[in-house]
Copies of this chain bind each other. A is one copy, B any other.
Amino acid sequence: MPSDTSAWSLHPRLKEDTIDIGDLPLSRVLVIKDANYPWLLLVPRRAAAVEIIDLEEVEQAQLMTEISRVARALKEITKCDKLNIAALGNAVPQLHVHIIARRTSDAAWPRPVWGVVPPLPHDAEEVQNFISALRRKIWLG
């Protein structure tokens, strides 16, 4: 069954919690507003998708390509100790993939990040520098 490509829009909860940094062929790339961790989301622009298995096979392959590209950029920029990559969606049903740069010194380590500490506001200049670096690596690198 073909995925629904019409009428996609970003879930209001994801919109509120993130900064939009651009679109890849399948997914929107977002930065989560939480300075505790360098934390990105990929959101495939397919209206009906809740699970990865709701995507067509070719879209699943494209999602993996985009995960890999974004994860590599995030790792190169942050020099993190570990990547955490996850599609959970227990709170927000719209399919989204977390790509998080973890450090052994971060607020939640070694636990997963969800629900451990409240979000910390970004320093405006720092997050702009981070986004500029990501844009260069993801779209030009």
Q: Please report A residues at the B interface, Cβ cutoff 8 Å.
A: 50-53, 57, 60-61, 63-65, 67-68, 71-72, 75, 82-91, 102, 109-112, 114-115
Q: Is the interface of A mostly helix, strand, loop or mixed?
A: mixed
**How many copies are assembled?**
2
Most chain B CB atoms below 10 A, which of A90, A109, A111, A115: A90
User: Which residues of B are found within 8 Å of A51, using beta-carbon distances?
Assistant: 71, 75, 82-83
A90 to B116, CA, bound (A): 15
A50 to B75, CA, bound (A): 13
A65 to B89, CA, bound (A): 20
User: Which residues of B are found within 8 Å of A61, using beta-carbon distances?
Assistant: 61, 64-65
